[in-house]
Amino acid sequence: MPDEELKGMTVVGVFGPFASRALVEMSVVEAEEFCGGVASAAPLEVVSGALRDLEQIKARDERVGGSALAASAVTLAYELANPYNSATSKALCARALRETMDRLEEMLPPEVKERDGIDQLAIERDRRRRSGAA
């Protein structure tokens, strides 16, 4: 789904009658209207959270945020949200998602922080020590 379409959207899982299953992305209101009250609609918080985190990663580095590793994080989040997966499966997916998100963070270039006056004093003091001037 294009990033523009995600703004203002809540990701929900829809489960219909007779044990039919589907994961559908739409607003909660649309899901309730579409299913006519026969199905339940609930936000998929882990999916929404993963998408938000990936948007922040993409803002820092387009390549990392749009990588296959980032896409696999979304898939893992969906697996965590699937109510038909076992607790063991969810635990393994949660661990894999955490490791994937950590790896994505490691791949990002370091953030450039503005130096304050204290940092500048420490740099100048270090420079004087190295040059032998006190």
Domain ranges of the chain: 3-131
Instruction: In whole angstroms, give the CA distance from residue 46 to residue 82.
Output: 11
Residue of 63, 67, 80 lying closest to 13 (CA atoms): 80
Mean pLDDT (the chain, rounded): 79
Q: Which residues pair with 24 in a beta bridge?
A: 12
Say if residue 112 is exposed, middle or buried (CB neighbours under 10 Å; 0-12, 13-18, 19+).
Answer: exposed
Residue 109 pLDDT grade (very low, low, confident, very high; cuts 50, 70, 90):
confident
**pLDDT exceeds 60 at position 85:** yes
Q: Which residues pair with 42 in a beta bridge?
A: 13
Rounded CA Rg of the chain: 22
- Range in 40-49, 60-69, 86-95 with the lowest mean pLDDT: 40-49
What's residue 119's pLDDT? 74
What's residue 130's pLDDT? 82
